[in-house]
């Protein structure tokens, strides 16, 4: 019995800003290499590994596995990658994996294979106990190829819908067994964890008896699990500062209009700066459990990055009070970026806002916190 595997890396990477996801690096190593190493550590090895890719084929070929392109044009999605693999592989069973899941249980292959061999299922799909189904982590019989070709010919491209039309079974794996890295933020969090950095925010850790009595230590829930506004009456006033940063990527021609002030709507960054400051003062109206606080200072600064064709925004918010000012900084940041989008959408609807995050906060009982990773 022959068992082959295909790593799906042929997508357009839309949530990664159009980057070729399989070649995006996690801790200095391309995601496709993480997948290959995860397969090499399986208790039940596969016989051959194929890579489905539609761009940068020489870069994928250097990993030593055959690289396949979609037969069908236009990036139809994972069904097209599976189709190419079934055409190339004579194996009785084919394991399918996405390139953005770098960590796999060591018994993944063995458990999927055991299920499909001992049942009449045509496809077995990984599932976590919370009911989350992972259609792109599956094993299927080679004889599903005609059904797959029929779906592709009818432009019915949803993977899970095709699987449900077959004899299907699920195999349950522990929670968090398959952390998908769909965005740059997902990638950053995963990289921080790999480097040993604790990225769980302070409110998630019980620091006193009252917090320990709440579900998971979440301060915005009471002991009954009901949402409530945190009582800050017993806290003392302190000088609090928060810095947040984010960016909006755009076409070079759009960036040129902003930089030269030649946009027909006027000073894009000037309007976005005012919008961000105004938004910071309305945070409590937008975020249900935020306290209204007296802001003493809000600055919204922009940096133009011609090489990256983007505008980077940094917001610093300050107050003297009993609760933090992080949400005000983040609200100002998001509205400033949204204002840039609104003013430029007529010439560039494909702008991408990303890397939005808190950089630093000071003041209060928890003291000084600073992000320990950069993107």
Q: What is the pLDDT of residue 213?
A: 36
Q: What is the pLDDT of residue 291?
A: 82
For residue 373, what are its two tokens?
Answer: 């990773």
Instruction: Give me the tens of pLDDT residue by residue for the chain, a chain 375 residues long.
Output: 899 999 999 887 777 778 888 999 888 889 999 999 999 999 999 999 999 999 999 999 999 999 999 988 877 889 999 999 999 999 999 999 999 888 888 899 999 999 999 999 999 999 987 778 999 999 999 999 999 999 999 999 999 999 999 999 999 987 556 767 777 777 787 777 676 544 433 333 333 333 333 333 445 444 444 444 556 555 667 899 999 999 999 999 999 999 988 777 779 999 999 999 999 999 988 888 888 889 999 999 999 999 989 999 999 999 998 888 999 999 999 999 999 999 999 999 999 999 999 999 988 766 788 875 544
Q: What is the pLDDT of residue 14?
A: 75
Would you give the DSSP letter of residue 227? B
Q: What is the pLDDT of residue 233?
A: 57
Element (H, E) at 319: strand 310-321
76-80 own/partner pairs: CB under 8 Å, 24+ apart: 76/152, 76/155, 76/157, 77/11, 77/157, 77/159, 78/8, 78/11, 78/135, 78/136, 78/159, 79/148, 79/151, 79/152, 79/157, 79/159, 79/162, 80/10, 80/152
d(CA 173, CA 44): 16
What totals of helices (H) and strands (E) does the chain contain, helices first?
12, 14
pTM of the model: 0.53
d(CA 369, CA 321): 17
Closest C-alpha to 158, from 222, 235, 77: 77
The answer to whether 281 touches 370, Cβ cutoff 8 Å, is no
Q: What is the pLDDT of residue 209?
A: 34
Q: What is the pLDDT of residue 321?
A: 85
Query: Which stretches of the chain are DSSP H helices?
Result: 31-40, 57-61, 78-88, 108-117, 145-153, 159-164, 184-194, 209-212, 252-260, 268-280, 283-286, 326-344
CA dist list (Å): 246 to 71, 141, 303, 335, 337: 39, 45, 11, 11, 8
Which residues belong to the active site?
Answer: 342
């Amino acid at each position: 019995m022959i068992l082959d595997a295909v790593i799906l890396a042929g997508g357009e990477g839309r949530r990664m800003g159009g980057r070729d996801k399989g070649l995006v690096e996690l801790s200095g190593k391309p995601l496709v290499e993480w997948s290959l190493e995860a397969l090499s550590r399986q208790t039940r090895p596969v016989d051959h590994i194929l890579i489905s890719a539609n761009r940068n084929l020489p870069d994928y070929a250097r990993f030593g596995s055959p690289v396949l392109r979609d037969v069908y044009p236009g990036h139809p999605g994972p069904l097209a990658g599976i189709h190419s693999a079934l055409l190339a592989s004579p194996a009785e069973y084919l394991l399918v994996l996405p390139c953005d899941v770098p960590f796999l249980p060591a018994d993944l292959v063995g458990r999927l294979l055991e299920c499909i061999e001992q049942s009449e299922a045509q496809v077995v799909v990984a599932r976590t106990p919370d009911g989350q189904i992972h259609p792109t982590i599956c094993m299927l019989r080679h004889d599903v190829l005609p059904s797959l070709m029929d779906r592709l010919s009818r432009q019915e491209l949803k993977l899970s819908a095709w699987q449900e039309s077959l004899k299907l079974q699920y195999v349950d794996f522990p929670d968090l067994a398959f952390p998908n890295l769909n965005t740059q933020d997902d990638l950053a969090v995963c990289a921080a964890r790999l480097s040993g950095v604790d990225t769980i925010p302070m409110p998630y850790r019980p620091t006193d008896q009252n917090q320990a009595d709440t579900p998971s230590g979440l301060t915005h829930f009471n002991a009954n699990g009901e949402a409530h506004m945190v009582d800050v009456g017993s806290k003392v006033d302190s000088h609090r500062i928060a810095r947040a940063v984010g960016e909006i990527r755009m076409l070079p021609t759009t960036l040129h209009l902003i930089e030269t002030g030649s946009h027909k709507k006027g000073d894009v960054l000037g309007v976005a700066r005012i919008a961000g400051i105004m938004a910071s003062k309305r945070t409590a109206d937008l975020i249900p459990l935020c306290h209204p606080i007296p802001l003493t200072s809000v600055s919204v600064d922009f940096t133009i990055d011609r090489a990256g064709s983007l505008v980077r925004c940094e917001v610093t918010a300050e107050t003297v009070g009993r609760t933090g000012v992080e949400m005000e900084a983040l609200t100002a940041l998001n509205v400033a970026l949204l204002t840039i989008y609104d003013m430029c959408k007529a010439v560039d609807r494909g702008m991408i806002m990303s890397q939005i995050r808190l950089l630093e906060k000071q003041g209060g009982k928890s003291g000084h916190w600073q992000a320990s990773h950069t993107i």
